[in-house]
Amino acid sequence: MTAESDSARELLRHSVATLAYRGGKALRDADANFAAFRASEKTRTPVEILAHIGDLLAWGLSIAKGQESWSGVKPKGWDYEVERFFDGLKNFDDYLASGEPLVCPAQKLFQGPIADALTHVGQIAMLRRLAGDPMRGENYFVAEITVGRVGTDQPEPRFEFE
């Protein structure tokens, strides 16, 4: 691996850790009824969005391994999909941390599945506000985001807005 590809891979791992931090915040302490909230008849529910994020993470890992496969799954419930989200992040990060080759450029993995997943985490955060269960805004620049920390054990926010 070249220094440039090492650097791109580390940035991709940081992006996955950022997704874990931001996603964890959007999912944590959500109201029990939030999973089924529908902003309008044509929008996905939070649990449908979360299942889609799980699909994106599995797809991204399959691309990284050179075995691209898409499988859109039907949501199996909020708790299941939250666990699937963090499992997907761990599987993706474990592969990125391994010595196994990326079969595509790291930049493509970022612009596709990772950026899409970040967008959907933002949708979940917005839907929490619309559902009357808002999470506090945060200065993510100062957040304690650590490469490899992709589970539910995310640190407390350093600076949230009032």
**Within-domain flag for 147:** no
**Within-domain flag for 152:** no
What does the pLDDT read at residue 3? 55
pLDDT over threshold 80, residue 162: no
Q: Looking at the 3D structure of the chain, how many domains does it have?
A: 1
For 92-124, the pLDDT digits (tens) are 999 999 989 999 999 999 999 999 999 999 999
Q: b/e per residue, 39-51, with b = 16+ CB within 10 A?
A: eeeeebbbbebbb
What does the pLDDT read at residue 4? 52
**Within-domain flag for 57:** yes
Q: Domain range spanning residue 28?
A: 3-142
Range of 71-80, 115-124, 133-142 with top mean pLDDT: 115-124
The pTM for the full model equals 0.94
Written as one string, the DSSP assignment of 25-75 is HHHTT--TTGGG--SSTTS--HHHHHHHHHHHHHHHHHHHTT---------
CATH number at residue 131: 1.20.120.450
**Within-domain flag for 27:** yes
**Within-domain flag for 159:** no
